[in-house]
Amino acid sequence: MKILDILIIVAEVSLIILAFSVFHWLIGKLFKQLVRFAWLRKGDRSTRALRRKIRGMLVLHCLMLCVLVVAVNLWLIYQGNNLQEYTLEVITPISPDFWRSFAIGAFQSAGIVIVALISMAIVYPILDIACNRAKKFEYITSNDDSIEEFFSFLKNNLTNIVWLSVAIGCTQLLQVPAIVSQFLYIGLKIYAILAAGLLIFKAVAAIIDSLDALSNKYSNPDNFLRFYDHLRHLVPFLKRSLEYAIYVYMATLVVQQLELVADLAAYGPRIARVIGIIFISRIFVEVANLVIEEALLKNKKL
């Protein structure tokens, strides 16, 4: 390996590190401006966590890109290519219009990233406030874990969906081949389906836990909630049935995105109906037993 080849590799890696460093510095300045708003300062912990995640993501992508550049250059050297000549051959034919379009796309992409960062910095404190208020509702503590799990899952997946959307937008602005944007868009739709399905289940689980706690709190022998103790053991079964039904619909929607197996999606609603029939049958049996038991207790002669 020639000294010039080493210098070229070092220069390319240095440019990548410099670009990521400048971008990280700009993000740091942006966050310092955002935390000056009083209502965002309330969610300062969430903002710091978001900044740590972004820093980690930037470092990871920078390392991956540096490793990729080094690996490609080493492969070119192994093939007997002259790095200086190869680099000039790649750069020289590119027209000034391409660089102009690429620069405009890069600035627009940076704008999209900044908008995404501002949006998440605004939304996350709001979600933290909503989480705290939900946990304080009726001063019930038995459902706190379900509520925290729901909002934590919401924030994590919202971040991933936002960055996938940003990646799709950047590929279009930077004039990346259309096939890349198409695959990213399909991946985004599948991920959004899975995230939405799991989010719905966690939301339903939190609602069920809250209703269970409220029913237990206000139950007494003088109102209809006295029957709830006899049916409370069905709560885990209800959660499992809803979970299986949501999984089935998630799989159905995912399969519809894949042309090779799209025909299998027709079986999804049928399986979901079977789950619904099993659950309703179980409820009917339990309610029938409860009615018979109440009737026997009221009839002293029996």
For residue 212 the two structure tokens come to 């269970």
How many whole angstroms separate alpha carbon 2 and alpha carbon 10?
Answer: 13
How many whole angstroms separate alpha carbon 79 and alpha carbon 88?
Answer: 17
The pLDDT, as a whole number, for residue 72 is 85
Judge whether 277 and 235 are in contact, CB under 8 Å.
Answer: no
- Enter the DSSP assignment of 37: S
Neighbours of 51 (CB within 10 A): 19
Q: Per-residue confidence at 34, pLDDT binned at 50, 70, 90?
A: low
Cα 242 → chain centroid: 21
Q: Per-residue confidence at 39, pLDDT binned at 50, 70, 90?
A: very low
Torsion of CA 68, 72, 75, 81, to 10 degrees: -160
**122 vs 295: which has the higher pLDDT:** 122
Average pLDDT over residues 237-265: 80
pTM beyond cutoff 0.75:
no
Average pLDDT over residues 219-232: 61
How many whole angstroms separate alpha carbon 84 and alpha carbon 2?
Answer: 11
How many whole angstroms separate alpha carbon 120 and alpha carbon 142?
Answer: 29
Average pLDDT over residues 238-265: 81
For residue 264 the two structure tokens come to 């299998």
Q: For residue 167, is pLDDT > 50? A: yes
How many whole angstroms separate alpha carbon 232 and alpha carbon 216?
Answer: 9
The pLDDT, as a whole number, for residue 223 is 55
Lowest mean pLDDT among 23-27, 53-57, 90-94: 90-94
Torsion of CA 175, 178, 182, 183, to 10 degrees: -90
Q: For residue 224, is pLDDT > 60? A: no
Q: 267-290, pLDDT tens digit by residue?
A: 888 888 888 888 788 778 777 776
The structure tokens 């990213």 sit at 184
How many whole angstroms separate alpha carbon 32 and alpha carbon 88?
Answer: 41
- Enter the DSSP assignment of 170: H
**218 vs 276: which has the higher pLDDT:** 276
In order of 24, 110, 189, 294, the CA distances from 118 in angstroms are: 14, 12, 23, 59
Q: Per-residue confidence at 38, pLDDT binned at 50, 70, 90?
A: very low
How many whole angstroms separate alpha carbon 111 and alpha carbon 45?
Answer: 25
Q: For residue 252, is pLDDT > 50? A: yes
